[in-house]
Structure 1
């Protein structure tokens, strides 16, 4: 046990160790509060006095939630060694988070954004106080879990920090070689004499490497054999990197250098976030200081990302979920352009549903009017694109092999790599299953929209047909048969014949719509069965079960690697564990391939066929709707013409009746003919019927106009 006046710790509670100090978990003697104490060793006192006190002075000057707090500076009782009493972070460092097999391919998007926000805020506070850290790396970013379960990351280890303005330089070398700026690497690691001075931008290089590591789970610059085994190639990669490249690797011994301008496909960050992040990495991972961004631009660009909101958009036709990052004050037009960049669907072809309802997005209004979305409840985008599905790398390609002999360190490393690939398979399995659910749910909503369109169009067609049939049924053939041959009556008869034709067209349209409804109902029933199958899928549970058992063996290997060797019985158990671990990994990957990937690919094929049916049905409904609307419009015109003719005839008969009253009685006709009174009554009857029909048709047209103002069913 060791102690100072107010704090007590055991040397077994080691949190970290460096060249000049060790960090332990300690307690306040009075309150029992957990703290971290940094105890300096004898080597630290060989440094100049100003260097020894620099860390105390820097920490006393800083006060920020994303920088580790300094509580006190005390001394041990016996040796009187200096002790820094600091805030204790129980969740380890960002490095320990990345070392976990779950994060072998980088952090989830939400957690990465937390890291970015905390690092940017902490670094901004350092620059406001004129301090350069000089040893930024995941091991010096501690993680604390807040009261609401959220991660809080804090910069720590200010042993290499010093005050430095933006235009000042320094010549001393500090830092960890994988994260060092190439100019510092050349002098500190390669031991090459050079007279370069360094500025505050060396922290930006370290931040770039750290952010790449957090996003991908690996370092950006990797020579064959690793950074520490091939230092000359490591230096070549960092200094020969082309502008715009964010990573470089040498795949084989003495092989060529390969450059990457994007993040790897295994990365968990969405393409929407990657498109914002990659330019930042490219501009801070620049060797030439003239090309490298300064802190002002770095803070401006990262703050721009952090101030954006994400809108989740599922492209139903492509079967891909997108994360669209925009500012809340942006317009819908800007949002649509962002969607266009990710989906290649032009804004004029973008139509959306949200939770089963059509979304009318006016380009000029604020994007704040878009509903709150999540990955499980996104906007559903319609287009005529070909389904392509999620692009991913098969986790089996990243599974290392165990060496035949017992090698505790090698076995641990292999188990860690296999477990990392297993967790990647689990994540992909969930994404593929969620994708199937979103496809089926989106199609279900489209069915509902098309069914609603059918109902509205059918209602209009049937209403029009009912009015036409009722009006045509008022004709009394007995009255018309004996009427004199009047040209106006011939025209009226032709118009009524046209109304009968329109009624027949509407009848056929009604029958057509009814058949379409039955077809849609059949497809909806298929969707229900498919969704039930997705909900009954147990592949996720099977993969998780394998992972749990593999994780137990991995923890055993993790303990064993710290031992110098194993006894005979323990070694036999270790060999059996290796066999079981390999068997579980094989089973996991088999489930992933046969239960997840194959079903997903089959669902994509079926989805494509269904989308074609939906697209054809929608186009068909448009044609039928146009026919119904045209029939209504024409019927209204015919009725108006007929009504006009009947009014003229009625007026003429009234005049003839008045004249007939003054004239002599007509000669007796060989056949009885309708009296003017009967003809007048018939014309008035027809006129009233046509007026009623005109009124009904006018109502129908108003309904159609309202339907036309409602957004059409989406293009699918």
Structure 2
């Protein structure tokens, strides 16, 4: 056990470890409150005094819900080591979240938006206080659960932070390789002498890599063999990135670099959010510090996303879901244009249903007055023109499934098991998306068919009115003929001829209306058949067991992965490991 005057912790309760300090889970001796204590080691005291004191001063200066709070600075009883007593974040870090196989291909859209909001708010507070962090990465973004059950993310680890205005530069190098700005990477990792000074935009590069990692589950720049094994190519990728590219991967040794200007198909973010996010990534993942956005533009563009509302739309003929990010004050006209950009359905061809009824959108109606939609209860879009099927776009999970090797290796097997579980999670996500698409299609078709039936009834009612009017006209025509028969002369004969023509035309209208009624009755019968089929298909969809089967399979895979993790952390002799892991393989 170790302690300070007011706090107590065990050496095994390690939350994190760095070059100059370890972070432990500790308790207040009096209240029992959980805290995190950062205990500095001997290497930390080799740094200049002002550097040692910098983190204390930074944390004392900062006060924001998205920055880990500093409670006290104390010393251990015997060694007099400095200890920072900080807020304890019980749910680990963003890195822990991304290492969960459930997020192997990136966070869900709702969780990503929370990360975006929290990091932007925390960074804004840093810039308001003239501070550059210099080590932004998922491991330095802590997570705890709020009272509403939503995540709250907080920036931490200000050991590398320093005060720096927007127009100032610094020359010292800190950070973590994969998230490090290329100019700093050249000097810190490749050890190449250079006289470059660095500005506050180096944090923006790290934020860009972090956001890409959160959105996709992987790093944006990956040389063959990985960033740590192929450092020269890593530097080449980051410095030679074409304008607009947000990722570069080298898939073969000495191979070409494949640039990407879009987020991958495996990413779980909607096209609507991707369209807002990609330009931000492209402009902060810019190696040239002169071309990179400044923080003012970064905050403006990210705040623009966070201040939009979401309208969920399902395009019935295309069988595709869309999320429309729009400002609450924007009108229907702007909304229809935004839908057009995603679906290519012209505004004047767009017709909407909501909860079974036609949904009329007044051109001047503002978005905050639209009906409240969700992914499972969207506006259903019907086009007045034929549309090509789009469906749920995804990459076959089988292409992501890891290859198993015959030899037993605890670390490799654990990694393979983790990848397999991640792929299973992705399969489940795709299956749920397909099932939701099927349900929205069947429900939307049911609404359209029901609406057509209602329209048929309305037409039949109008037809009955027309028949009544025709009957009156025919009676009038008969009376008129009797009247004119009493009239002698050429004028009377001409009038009778004209009345007979009217009689013929009225009879033709009666026959047309009668045929129309038969056609409508036939059409109603067809619609009844379609509705019966739709009810049958919806019942079959509800009885579908594929999701439960995937979930059951995933549970078993997770248990196996858990066994591999246990084996990895409790390494025994090679013979013992082989025996234990043989069971896991079965």
TM range (shorter): over 0.9
| Unaligned segments of structure 2, at least 5 residues | none
Any residues of structure 2 matched to 1:90-489 within 5 Å, and which? 90-383=90-383, 384-473=386-475, 475=478, 479=482, 483-485=486-488, 486=492, 487-489=494-496
Q: In the TM superposition, what is the alpha-carbon distance from 1:565 to its structure 2 partner?
A: 3.2
Cα 1:123–1:421, aligned 2, differ >3 Å: closer, same or farther? same
Moved more, 560-569 or 120-129: 560-569
Any residues of structure 2 matched to 1:602-621 within 5 Å, and which? none
* 1:105-154, Cα deviation, whole Å (9 max, x unpaired): 00000000000000000000000000000000000000010011110000
Any residues of structure 2 matched to 1:73-84 within 5 Å, and which? 73-84=73-84
* 1:255-296, Cα deviation, whole Å (9 max, x unpaired): 011100000000000000000000000000001111100000
Q: In the TM superposition, what is the alpha-carbon distance from 1:87 to its structure 2 partner?
A: 0.1
* 1:344-379, Cα deviation, whole Å (9 max, x unpaired): 011111111111111111223312231110000000
Partner of 2:559: 552
- Contact preservation (8 Å) 2:571, 2:577: no
1:44 aligned counterpart, secondary structure: helix
CA distance in 2, matches of 1:508, 1:482: 33
Any residues of structure 2 matched to 1:521-600 within 5 Å, and which? 521-566=528-573, 568=575, 571-578=578-585, 580=586
1:435 aligned counterpart, secondary structure: helix
Q: In the TM superposition, what is the alpha-carbon distance from 1:480 to its structure 2 partner?
A: 6.5
Q: In the TM superposition, what is the alpha-carbon distance from 1:567 to its structure 2 partner?
A: 6.4
Partner of 1:511: 518
CA distance in 2, matches of 1:545, 1:115: 30
CA distance in 1, matches of 2:50, 2:575: 55
1:489 aligned counterpart, secondary structure: helix
* 1:324-345, Cα deviation, whole Å (9 max, x unpaired): 1000001111111111110001
- Contact preservation (8 Å) 1:340, 1:347: yes
Partner of 1:495: 502
Q: In the TM superposition, what is the alpha-carbon distance from 1:566 to its structure 2 partner?
A: 4.6
CA distance in 1, matches of 2:191, 2:548: 53
* 1:402-421, Cα deviation, whole Å (9 max, x unpaired): 22111000000000011100
- Contact preservation (8 Å) 2:21, 2:39: yes
- Contact preservation (8 Å) 2:39, 2:83: yes
Cα 1:292–1:482, aligned 2, differ >3 Å: closer, same or farther? closer
Aligned length: 579
CA distance in 2, matches of 1:6, 1:174: 32
- Contact preservation (8 Å) 1:137, 1:207: yes
CA distance in 2, matches of 1:406, 1:478: 105
Q: In the TM superposition, what is the alpha-carbon distance from 1:509 to its structure 2 partner?
A: 1.0
CA distance in 2, matches of 1:479, 1:151: 88
* 1:290-321, Cα deviation, whole Å (9 max, x unpaired): 11000000000000000001100000010000
CA distance in 2, matches of 1:508, 1:563: 83
Moved more, 276-285 or 488-497: 488-497
Q: In the TM superposition, what is the alpha-carbon distance from 1:73 to its structure 2 partner?
A: 0.2
Partner of 1:608: none
Q: In the TM superposition, what is the alpha-carbon distance from 1:484 to its structure 2 partner?
A: 4.3
Moved more, 316-325 or 556-565: 556-565
CA distance in 1, matches of 2:123, 2:479: 93
Q: In the TM superposition, what is the alpha-carbon distance from 1:36 to its structure 2 partner?
A: 0.1
| Unaligned segments of structure 1, at least 5 residues | 581-716
Q: In the TM superposition, what is the alpha-carbon distance from 1:569 to its structure 2 partner?
A: 5.9
- Contact preservation (8 Å) 1:144, 1:151: yes
- Contact preservation (8 Å) 2:26, 2:35: yes
Quote the RMSD (CA, aligned, Å): 1.4
Q: In the TM superposition, what is the alpha-carbon distance from 1:568 to its structure 2 partner?
A: 4.4
Cα 1:11–1:478, aligned 2, differ >3 Å: closer, same or farther? closer
1:36 aligned counterpart, secondary structure: strand
- Contact preservation (8 Å) 1:16, 1:23: yes
Q: In the TM superposition, what is the alpha-carbon distance from 1:454 to its structure 2 partner?
A: 0.6
Any residues of structure 2 matched to 1:704-715 within 5 Å, and which? none
Q: In the TM superposition, what is the alpha-carbon distance from 1:388 to its structure 2 partner?
A: 2.1
Cα 1:421–1:478, aligned 2, differ >3 Å: closer, same or farther? closer
* 1:227-270, Cα deviation, whole Å (9 max, x unpaired): 00000000000000000000001010000111000000000000
1:561 aligned counterpart, secondary structure: helix
Cα 1:562–1:478, aligned 2, differ >3 Å: closer, same or farther? closer
If you compute each CA radius of gyration, which structure gives the higher value, 1 or 2?
1
Partner of 2:38: 38
- Contact preservation (8 Å) 1:462, 1:506: no
- Contact preservation (8 Å) 2:484, 2:496: no
CA distance in 2, matches of 1:360, 1:462: 28
CA distance in 2, matches of 1:363, 1:541: 44
